[in-house]
Amino acid sequence: MPVIDYLERNAKLYPDEVALVELNPEMPDTRRITWKEYELIEPSRFEPYRREITWSIFNEKANRFANLLLNRGIKKGDKVAIIMYNCLEWLPIYFGVLKTGAIAVPFNFRYDAEEILYCAELAEVDVIVFGPEFIGRIEQNADKLSKGRLLIYVGDNCPAFSESYRELVADCSSVAPDIKITDDDFGAIYFSSGTTGFPKAILHKHQSLTQAAEMEQKHHSTGREDCFLCIPPLYHTGAKFHWMGSLVAGSRAVILKGTKPDIILKAVSSEKCTIVWLLVPWAQDILDSIESGEIKLEDYELSQWRLMHIGAQPVPPSLIKRWKKYFPEHDYDTNYGLSESTGPGCVHLGVENVHKVGAIGVPGYRWECRIVTEDGNEVKRGDVGELAVKGPGVMTCYYNNPEATAEVLKDGWLYTGDMAMQDEDGFIFLVDRKKDVIVSGGENIYPVQIENFIRKYDKVKDVAVIGMPDKRLGERTAAIIEIKDNMECSKEEIDEFCLGLPRYKRPKEIFFEVIPRNATGKIEKPKLRKMHGAEGLVALENRS
């Protein structure tokens, strides 16, 4: 059934139970001031520290927004873009779009003005819903964006080129619109990460959204008493569909604005969170803070925290070993996925398989996987090939891009572009991105293997390995290394440590600098290649 039915169900069964909490640690705590004092604060200078809504209010807000869109002529199959930071309004607006039969189109909040315009035109959006942080970026192309489109602003002091969300929804009905939605209807367009140029628009049916929600609940046994801490951006499939496990379970979730270790642990403690999804850098920061003494675990109430899981990028086994040292009672899971497969979970480790840390896991709920050669034949166990997945969460197509669709969708199988191998027990290990494989002197070198090795050095906080052009070998390996705070490290130290690698895998170049990562925690390797003079490889990549 469509995910909007789960929201309707929760509103009927648990109307007065809290569905969503928003925490903004950078703002004053409203619990410490009176209501009268709150009303006197200038709205543009204040946002409540903690807000919450029940399931019934969540559903009513979604219904009001759906009826607003319908009143303005939006119909089934139209497209509504959302570009906002995480907030309490985000998910009700998203579900309001789905209730109309229109297609929800979340935008990356890092898009600049030109990327917003590009994606709006690529996806042929009819409405753009945006928050106060994006006024300047929208305004730069307001004349083009408003042409044939409705611009809706969510916040105080509505700009002249748009209409106010608060004013528009005030008079709209809170009753669900009478529109039949099926799993076969189109539900959402997500965008690829854009690491190879401008992003591609990924079209999904409602079936994909339901699959992701039900799979998440099943994988992590999310129950009514659980509380999920949501930190990553909601525009991304990872955050939203991990949260949808709570939707299926009818349990509470917390939307946290902030990623510092103390902010995360305070939220887990104060809100009694039981499930937390982290990106690798956040988990590393928490461990570093514990080991430096900046954080003392006894200062927090963490006994209810039962599961920590990670996705969106390769996870160093050494990180999980460190984590289990400080949190031995935690279940742990790795989730693998991509926006083309409705986010994480088409492959997952499973909490019962912690002994296989390092693997991305086995096929997820209702998924099939195989590892293939260039011509589509399966490789034998232990050999490296491209990972292909098949299941009810596979995208319909790249919208308005049949050529790119044909490259990755073949006989119902989605070719991920990730190189992987399967061990004798059937567990899949990610080797590297297909485009990131370094070919040096005829040898295939997989950067992830080198990165995992270098991360074992106790002074290393983060590392990225890239290929650089070499006249003789074709490419040579370069390691960009970020050192832990308050530590010093030399090239000679790294060279000596890397003697533990086979000679052909040892980095030929070493640079010390901060590793750039995008909002979902993935290393921005094209940016690193450009910074370090590998423009030839970037040019090749941009043609893919």
pLDDT surpassing 70 at residue 536 = no
Check if the beta carbon of residue 416 is closer than 8 Å to that of residue 223: no
Listed in sequence order, the residues at least 6 apart from 257 whose beta carbon sits closer than 8 Å to its beta carbon are 22, 23, 24, 25, 26, 85, 86
Tokens of 23: 């925490």
Closest C-alpha to 74, from 116, 122, 128: 128
pLDDT band at 471 (very low <50, low <70, confident <90, very high): low
pLDDT band at 31 (very low <50, low <70, confident <90, very high): very low
Name the domain boundary from 159, 186, 206.
Answer: 206
pLDDT surpassing 90 at residue 364 = yes
**Residue 510 amino acid letter:** I
- Mean per-residue pLDDT, 357-377: 93
Residue 256 lies in a domain: no
pTM of the model: 0.82
Tens-place pLDDT, residues 331-347: 999 888 889 999 889 99
In which domain, by residue range, is 501 found? 437-542
Residue 463 lies in a domain: yes
d(CA 506, CA 544): 28
Name the domain boundary from 149, 171, 206.
Answer: 206
pLDDT band at 27 (very low <50, low <70, confident <90, very high): low
Residue 122 lies in a domain: yes
Tens-place pLDDT, residues 227-240: 999 998 999 888 89
Name the domain boundary from 206, 226, 253.
Answer: 206
Tokens of 62: 């979604």
Residue 213 lies in a domain: no
| Beta strand ranges found along 231-384 (DSSP E) | 252-256, 275-278, 307-311, 331-338, 343-348, 362-363, 368-372
pLDDT surpassing 80 at residue 541 = no
Tens-place pLDDT, residues 147-172: 999 999 999 999 999 999 999 999 99
pLDDT for the residue numbered 41: 44
Strands 331-338 and 343-348: antiparallel
pLDDT for the residue numbered 508: 92
> What value does the CA radius of gyration of the chain take, rounded to a whole number of Å?
24
Residue 454 lies in a domain: yes
pLDDT band at 280 (very low <50, low <70, confident <90, very high): confident
pLDDT for the residue numbered 42: 46
Q: At what angle do helices 90-100 and 237-249 cross, to 10 degrees?
A: 80
pLDDT band at 197 (very low <50, low <70, confident <90, very high): low
d(CA 206, CA 186): 6
Range scoring the smallest mean pLDDT among 277-291, 408-422, 448-462, 514-528: 514-528
- Mean per-residue pLDDT, 495-499: 94
The residue whose two tokens read 């819903």 is 129
d(CA 154, CA 159): 10
d(CA 232, CA 258): 9
Element (H, E) at 12: helix 3-13
pLDDT for the residue numbered 501: 86
CATH number at residue 474: 3.30.300.30
Domain count, the chain: 2
| Beta strand ranges found along 441-530 (DSSP E) | 443-445, 460-470, 474-483, 509-512
DSSP 54-104: EHHHHHHHHHHHHHHHHHTT--TT-EEEEE--S-TTHHHHHHHHHHHTPEE
pLDDT for the residue numbered 34: 41
Torsional class of 157: left (φ above 0), alpha (ψ -120 to 50), beta (otherwise): left
CATH number at residue 83: 3.40.50.12780
Closest C-alpha to 318, from 152, 159, 455, 468: 455
Tens-place pLDDT, residues 37-76: 444 444 444 456 899 999 999 999 999 999 999 999 999 9
Element (H, E) at 405: helix 402-408
DSSP 183-228: TTSEEEEEE---TTSSPPEEEEEHHHHHHHHHHHHHHTT--TT-EE
pLDDT for the residue numbered 32: 42
Residue 146 lies in a domain: yes
Residue 305 lies in a domain: no
Percent of the chain with pLDDT over 90: 69
Residue 421 lies in a domain: no
Tens-place pLDDT, residues 87-112: 999 999 999 999 999 999 999 888 88
